[in-house]
Amino acid sequence: MSKVRVRFAPSPTGGLHLGGVRTVLYNYLYAKKHGGDFIVRIEDTDQTRFVTGAEEYIFDCLNWCGLKPDESILHGGPYAPYRQSERKESYTAYAKQLVEAGYAYYAFDTKEELEKMREDNKTAENPAPQYDQSIRQKMRNSLHLTDTEVKDLLAKNTAYVIRIKMPANEVISFTDMIRGEVSFDSTLVDDKVLLKADGMPTYHLAVVVDDYLMKISHAFRGEEWLPSAPVHLLLWKYLGWEKQMPQWAHLPLIMGPNGKLSKRDGAKYGFPVFAMNWTDPKTNELVEGFKEKGFLPEAFINLLAVLGWNDGTEQELYSMEELIESFSMDRVHVAGAKFDYEKAKWFNHEWIKKLDTEHLRGYVKPILLADNFVLPDDSSLDKVIELVKERCVLLTDFVQQAGFFFKTPDTFDIDAVKPKWDATKKDYFEILCSHLNALPEFTFSNMENAFKELATEKNIKVGELQMILRVMLVGSKMGPAVFTIAETIGLDETIKRIQNAIISFD
RNA sequence: GCCGCGUUGGUCAAGGGGUUAAGACGCCUCCCUUUCACGGAGGAAUCACGGGUUCGAAUCCCGUACGUGGUACCA
């Protein structure tokens, strides 16, 4: 059996959305599970849609997700080039081969003629007429033009495309690894363009040729490609490569809250749709990514993997290694899945709790630094991370949840304190400061004892005092156990914050 | 319109002829905690509809509805 080789073939036209990342992931998982190769090939045959920076962006995303290709424009490999625009010549030869064998033909129709054809044939029942067998005899193509006419047109450098000649009344079927047998009536499929007037292939020709040349064994792509599968199947056959044809799997779509997940409208949904921030160079419009939103790549990969796949067990949290181990294409769902941002956040929360602190620090530290916090040494920072991580859903939550450890609060939740603040309490806290100073060692239990003893002595309810102390140290009613916070920030800072707060409360 | 693919709680889903139809997210109640979380115990909520086949259908078949994708010299 030949080696497993799968490819992800993005076109550099913009951000990498959820569905795209999941497609890469499944490709990657399948390849790794079977000890095969994962190839990234750039499909840029439509130069008019090419967006500067999009290629680099795609690789940045793959890198962040931990999906390293074995072969690509960046990583090299034996089947270079991996950019379709650089493989232009080979496609032309194959297209001509198809014409000579009678499986394809030259079409000289201009854009206007095509438009006219669509306009003339448009009816209520047929709003989108196709260039198919019912119509091709009426068009300007080598199917009914004489040889001399064709040669003449070619000699005059008339613009032409090469179209596949779809056969009549054939059932074209194949077995999809996810959905089983799928079949089409060839009569209903149109004569797709294979080679464009600019000499570039269309996707249809390019995938087949490249998959063959790159020895791809399994072709996994989005469900939107299912309707054009018969064209690809025929091409494999007409080119004489039927035996080498890869196994297909058409992955289900990821849907937004109301139907199709549109690429650009992250803001509309209130959650990201791209892996990483994407700024369209033409419009300068920024679409926020999962990375910048505060997602861990581990969580992002995890949530995408189980959106449309499960291994039949109750496990939901998977590392990349576990995914590679458990993944199988036949357990991928047939139906599309609606993306649920609440569940996505749950995955992130779980991963924040699950990840070891040192690893987590690598993600958290830059975020805190970017917010201008003055951070202590790593081991002190780790203690804080350990203390607050269970209440952080997104990495960006660390700013609020951990920030007060590194910065004296300058505002207080006065509303929470006001009803409970009076001269007695003020007196209490002033005495508390001196008691704290007298402590042999400033630990949370020593402090707690001193705190409670003084409360009993003054006959004040401990609970109320604790709430006030919390607001004094944190600024608001949040965070881990108060005395632990005090111990963490130290004696001097604790006293400083108490005295600071007393002034503010008055 | 035509073609393809789908349809199990609000969402992700297990189950593929006999089940009290798992589990997770979210929601609600309670416990823990005089903060917020975490954790724990419960709860509400589902087989799109109509026909068949069968002793028996969420499960198999056929229709219908709905959703979604395609119908470009875009991928």
d(CA A199, CA A272): 38
- The candidate with the shortest Cα–Cα distance to A16, out of A217, A269, A282, A300, is A300
CA distance A317 to A352: 12
User: What is residue A265's predicted lDDT score, i.e. its pLDDT?
Assistant: 64
- What string of H, E and C letters represents the secondary structure of A272-331? CCECCCEECCCCCCEECEHHHHCCCHHHHHHHHHCCCECCCCCCCCCCHHHHHHHCCHHH
Strand B–CB A200 distance below 7 A: yes
**A167: exposed, middle or buried (Cβ count in 10 Å: 0-12, 13-18, 19+):** middle
Nearest amino-acid residue to B15, taking CA and C1'? A312
Going across the sheet that includes A161-164, the strands are A104-107, A161-164, A193-195
DSSP state of A395: T
Q: Which two tokens stand for residue A452?
A: 């409670």
Q: Closest residue to B35 by CA to C1' distance?
A: A477
Q: Is the peptide bond before A409 cis (omega within 30 degrees of 0)?
A: no
Is A495 within 7 A of strand B by CB distance? no
Residues A11, A29: Cα–Cα separation, whole Å:
21
- In 3D, which of A434, A428, A437, A491 has the Cα closest to residue A465? A428
Q: Which helix (H) or strand (E) holds A259?
A: strand A259-260
Amino acid at A376: P
A467 CA from B35 C1′ (Å): 7
Q: Where does A418-490 have alpha helices with state H? A: 423-437, 444-458, 462-474, 482-489
Counted residue by residue, chain A has a size of 506
Does the CB of A171 fall within 7 Å of any strand B atom?
no
Q: Please give the pLDDT value at position A303.
A: 98
Q: Decide: CB of A253 under 7 A of nucleic strand B.
A: yes
For residue A269, what pLDDT is reported?
Answer: 85
β-partners of residue A106 are A162
Q: Which nucleotides of B are covered by protein (CB under 7 A)?
A: 1-8, 10-15, 22-26, 34-38, 67-75
DSSP state of A92: H
DSSP string, A141-171: BTTTS-HHHHHHHHHTT---EEEE-PPSS-E
In the chain, the amino acid numbered A143 is L
Report residue A108 as tokens: 């000289």
Residue by residue, pLDDT tens for chain A (506 residues) are 579 999 999 999 999 999 999 999 999 999 999 999 999 999 999 989 999 999 999 999 999 999 999 999 999 999 999 999 999 999 999 999 999 999 999 999 999 999 999 999 999 889 999 999 999 999 999 998 999 999 999 999 999 999 999 999 999 999 999 999 999 999 999 999 999 999 999 999 999 999 999 999 999 999 999 999 999 999 999 999 999 999 999 999 999 987 778 776 667 788 999 999 999 898 898 999 999 999 999 999 999 999 999 999 999 999 999 999 999 999 999 999 999 999 999 999 999 999 999 999 999 999 999 999 999 999 999 999 999 999 999 999 999 999 999 999 999 998 888 888 999 999 999 999 999 999 999 999 999 999 999 999 999 989 889 999 999 999 999 999 999 999 999 999 999 999 999 999 87
Cα–Cα dist A214/A80, whole Å: 9
According to the model, what pLDDT value does residue A420 have? 86
Is the separation of the CB atoms in A249 and A20 below 8 Å?
Answer: no
Q: Measured in angstroms, what separates residue A122's CA from nucleotide B53's C1'?
A: 44
Write out pLDDT tens, residues A378-430.
999 999 999 999 999 999 999 999 999 999 999 999 888 888 899 999 999 99
Is the preceding omega at residue A81 within 30 degrees of 0, hence cis? yes
Distance A177 CA to B56 C1' (A): 33
A442-454 per-position pLDDT tens digit: 999 999 999 999 9
Q: What is the pLDDT of residue A260?
A: 78
Q: How far is the CA of A262 from the C1' of B45 (A)?
A: 30
Query: Hey, is A257 helix, strand or coil?
Result: coil
Q: Are A335 and A402 in contact (CB under 8 A)?
A: no
Instruction: Give, in order, the Cα–Cα distances in Å from A467 to each of A388, A413, A421.
Output: 18, 11, 11
Closest CA relative to residue A54, chosen from A225, A200, A216, A263: A263
Verify if strand B has an atom below 7 Å from the CB of A225: yes
- Active-site residue list of A: 263
Scanning every strand, the nucleotide with its C1' closest to A334's CA turns out to be B6
DSSP-based three-state secondary structure for A338: strand
Query: What's the Å distance between residue A225 CA and nucleotide B75 C1'?
Result: 10
Output the pTM of the full model: 0.95
Helices and strands (H and E) in chain A: how many? 21, 14
Q: Please report how the helices A378-388 and A357-370 are oriented relative to each other, as an axis angle in degrees rounded to 10.
A: 100
- Nucleic acid strand B within 7 Å of A184 CB: yes
Does at least one atom of strand B sit less than 7 Å from the CB of A62?
A: no
